[in-house]
Structures are given as structure tokens and as C-alpha cells.
Amino acid sequence: MANRRNPEVYRGRRHRLNVLGIVAGAIVVLLLLAVVLFFGLQKYIVFGSEGISVVLPGAQTGETEGTTDDGTREPLEDVEAAVTITEPDYSALAATAGEGLQDMTAVYVPSSSVSLSGVGSYLDVMSSYGANALVLDVKPVSGQLAWASSSEIATSYGTNGTTDLGALVDAIRQQDPDIYLAAQLSCCLDALLATRSPTTALTLNTGAAYVDTEGAWLDPYNETVSQYIIELCEDLISLGFDEIILHSLAMPITDQPIAYSVELSSTPSPEAAVCSLAMTITNALSSYDVPVSVILDTTSLRNGLAAQSGQNLEVFGKIFDRLCSATDSAWRSNVDLSLIDQYLELGDAAQRYVPIMEYVPEGYSTCIVRVPESVLPTTTGTGDTSA
């Protein structure tokens, strides 16, 4: 008889459950299921006006859009979808410039005469033209600044001049505290910066820098270019200038393929490039109580080539206080005024449109006079600021 305390029965070996293996297996199964569901349900995804939803077969009840009276679904119509890239629409841009201006009959001072000794001759002839203002060209198309600016970019690339512009402004104010001072700067024409910072240069599709009879052009999309102009304008405002006038804020009129430094969702165009730079500058200077004006490319304006120069008058009339235009006669200036008057929503057109001529046109209280050299005095008289 077998021992009851030690029965002779077979006991199998107990195996421990592999918990980690079960968990890992479950995760794999769930991942596979998720992948199958993802790809399997894609054809049931519906994009509607209220968002994205998943509509399974037989899940809808009742009559719905796209369903016939007997409950069967209408066949879907094949639609060819296409993405259309259009030019920017500036019609909704609000007009912010042009109010609070004063009459400005100004004598133009070239950059070579922007100095304590050179500006005196132009001060002497102001009374002959009934002028109350000076326009100092402090940044010509060469890119060489007429003054030692505080711009970090100017310091980095060695574009500063030597004139103490603050001292010059003070000397002019001492001559006549009521003189209105405007500073003129070249924007997209700058041979010096294009040479010393090749990445700022406007280029052809071949990579070669674009240069024409007007000079070397800069890329308006380049951040260094826009920041450079803004820094210079802020410096001039801090020195006491009453107005900023931007020259060559345009693109060259050419049939050659231009390459810009940025990749955009739309095709870059001269108009988009120039208007983008113009709005960047005016937005940055909007906090200063100083008018910001622009010189129009008269050739493109008269010949219907504004799209090539990029100067959209609808935009310029809204964001710039004055629109200046080089003309050769009073008749021409009347023609130009009639062309742009429709774009001047705010302020007085007589103050906002500025013809640039060699004399004061009859009936104009606002203009810029380029004094012929033959009229300038050969010696410095009462306008001497060198002392």
C-alpha cells in the first residue's frame, strides 16, 4: 500500500509566465491593427466645410446630401483641381500716409557738397527760389555714405563717410532755425555694399551680379539690405532731419532673368519685391513722427512699365507721404500729377506730389529744385557754415 503521506503521483514542472513577452506581443498586434486601420479607412475620409470626418459604409441613416430618394449614393463627379499662384492683392491695404504735411520748396544738395564747407552755396540761393527747405543726398547710388553713421552694417562693411552730419545740421539750424531738412537715400542702387557684401547683390540666374548703366543693384528680399536702410533712416532721424526721401526704391527694367535670394510659395516679381521692401521700411519707421517719401521711376511711370520697376502706385500712395517725380517742364509735372492723383487718398495732393525740376514751376508750393551749377555762387557767402 502506498504511503498516503507520499502518494506516488506524477507532478509536472511548473513554468513561469513570460509577462514581458505577452506585453510585447500585444503591442505588436496593436501597432499592426493601427496600421491596417489607417490605410484601410483612408478611402472613407471625408473633407468637408466643417473639418475632416470618417464616414463608414452603412453608418449614415436617413437622407443626406449626395444621396438619392431610394437611399443609394449618387456617383461622384470627377473634378480636376489645380493650384493657382497669383500676384499679391494690395486693394485691402489701408492708407496711412499723407496727412499733416507742410509746403516744401526745397533746394537739392548733392552728396559731394554735404559738408560744412559745401552746403553754404546752396543756402545762399534758397532765397532766389523762395525755398524753405534743403534736401541733402546723404547716400548716392555709389553707396558711399556722406556721413559717419552709427549703423552697425555700415561699420561692418566700411561704407561710412567722414562728415559730422550732426554738426552740419546744427550749423544749418543756426543759420535759420526754420529751415526744413530732408535726407535722401538710395535704396536698391548701391555699388559699394554690393561689392563688399556679395550676398546682398541682385543677381542673374547665372549667379552673376546685375549691373547696368545706372549702377549695381541690391536684392530687395535680402534682410541685410532692408536692415541697412532702416538703420540709416533711424540714424538720420536721431540727427534731427525732418523727412526721409527714398531714392531708387525700384527694380531694373530689364528682360534678363533675375534671381532673388529667397524661395517663396509664389513666383517672385519686381512688384512683389519692391512693395515688400517698401512696407518693411515704412512699418519699421512708423513709430517716428517723420514723413517718409519716395522718388518715382519716371520712365516706368510714363511708359507703362511700373510692373517692371515694381513701383505699384496703389501701394506707394498709401504708405509714402510724398511721391516725388523728376520732370523737365511744368507741363510734364501736370501730366504726372494727373496720373498719380487718383492714388492719393489722404492729405492734400498739392503737398503730396513733388515735381523735381531746375526751377519752381508756376502754381506749385511743393517741389524740389536741382539748381544748375551755373547759378551757384563761385564763392561762399552768407551761407558759410564752415566757421
Question: Is there a domain that residue 93 lies in?
Answer: no
235 plus 361 within the same structural domain: yes
What is the predicted pLDDT for the residue at 124?
94
Element (H, E) at 282: helix 270-284
Residues 6+ apart with CB under 8 A from 68: 74
50 plus 157 within the same structural domain: no
- If one compares 71 and 24, the residue with the highest pLDDT of the two is 24
- Here the CATH number for the domain that contains residue 326 is 3.20.20.80
What is the predicted pLDDT for the residue at 303?
67
What is the predicted pLDDT for the residue at 279?
96
227 plus 291 within the same structural domain: yes
152 plus 40 within the same structural domain: no
Average pLDDT (322-343) is 76
Q: Which residues pair with 259 in a beta bridge?
A: 203
What is the predicted pLDDT for the residue at 97?
92
- If one compares 89 and 289, the residue with the highest pLDDT of the two is 289
d(CA 359, CA 328): 10
d(CA 234, CA 241): 10
- If one compares 85 and 384, the residue with the highest pLDDT of the two is 384
In the 8-state DSSP scheme, what is residue 355?
E
46 plus 120 within the same structural domain: no
Question: Is there a domain that residue 34 lies in?
Answer: yes
Question: Is there a domain that residue 387 lies in?
Answer: no
Question: Is there a domain that residue 185 lies in?
Answer: yes
**Confidence class of residue 33 from pLDDT cuts 50, 70 and 90?**
confident
What is the predicted pLDDT for the residue at 31?
80
C-alpha cell at 160: 561710412
In 3D space, the residue among 139, 132, 140 whose CA is nearest the CA of residue 236 turns out to be 139
Question: Is there a domain that residue 272 lies in?
Answer: yes
What is the predicted pLDDT for the residue at 305?
73
Percentage of the chain surpassing pLDDT 70? 74
- Give per-residue pLDDT as tens, 103-161: 999 999 999 999 999 999 999 999 999 999 999 999 999 999 999 999 999 999 999 99
What is the predicted pLDDT for the residue at 8?
52
What is the predicted pLDDT for the residue at 92?
82
- If one compares 387 and 33, the residue with the highest pLDDT of the two is 33
Mean pLDDT computed over every residue of the chain: 83
153 plus 235 within the same structural domain: yes
| String of DSSP letters for 217-264 | BB-TT-HHHHHHHHHHHHHHHHTT-SEEEEE--S----SSPEE-SS--
- If one compares 151 and 361, the residue with the highest pLDDT of the two is 151
Question: Is there a domain that residue 73 lies in?
Answer: no
Cell 506524477 belongs to residue:
10
- Give per-residue pLDDT as tens, 243-273: 999 999 999 988 888 888 777 666 678 999 9
- If one compares 311 and 304, the residue with the highest pLDDT of the two is 311
Instruction: Print the domain residue range for 30.
Output: 20-54
Domain count, the chain: 2
Residues 6+ apart with CB under 8 A from 281: 187, 226, 229, 230, 233, 246, 292
| E strand segments, the chain | 45-48, 51-54, 105-109, 133-139, 180-186, 203-204, 211-212, 215-216, 243-247, 258-259, 292-295, 323-326, 353-357, 367-369
Question: Is there a domain that residue 69 lies in?
Answer: no
Question: Is there a domain that residue 138 lies in?
Answer: yes
CB–CB of 305/299 below 8 Å?
Answer: yes
What is the predicted pLDDT for the residue at 237?
98
170 plus 41 within the same structural domain: no
Biggest CA–CA distance in the chain, Å, is: 146
43 plus 114 within the same structural domain: no
- If one compares 9 and 265, the residue with the highest pLDDT of the two is 265
CB–CB of 279/249 below 8 Å?
Answer: no
pLDDT at 11 over 60: no
What is the predicted pLDDT for the residue at 262?
76
30 plus 164 within the same structural domain: no
46 plus 126 within the same structural domain: no
What is the predicted pLDDT for the residue at 10?
46
- Give per-residue pLDDT as tens, 202-237: 999 888 999 999 999 999 999 999 999 999 999 999
What is the predicted pLDDT for the residue at 387?
46
pLDDT at 47 over 70: no
37 plus 179 within the same structural domain: no
pTM summary value: 0.76
- If one compares 382 and 96, the residue with the highest pLDDT of the two is 96
What is the predicted pLDDT for the residue at 328?
73
| String of DSSP letters for 3-35 | -TTS-----PPPPPP-HHHHHHHHHHHHHHHHH
CB–CB of 300/251 below 8 Å?
Answer: no
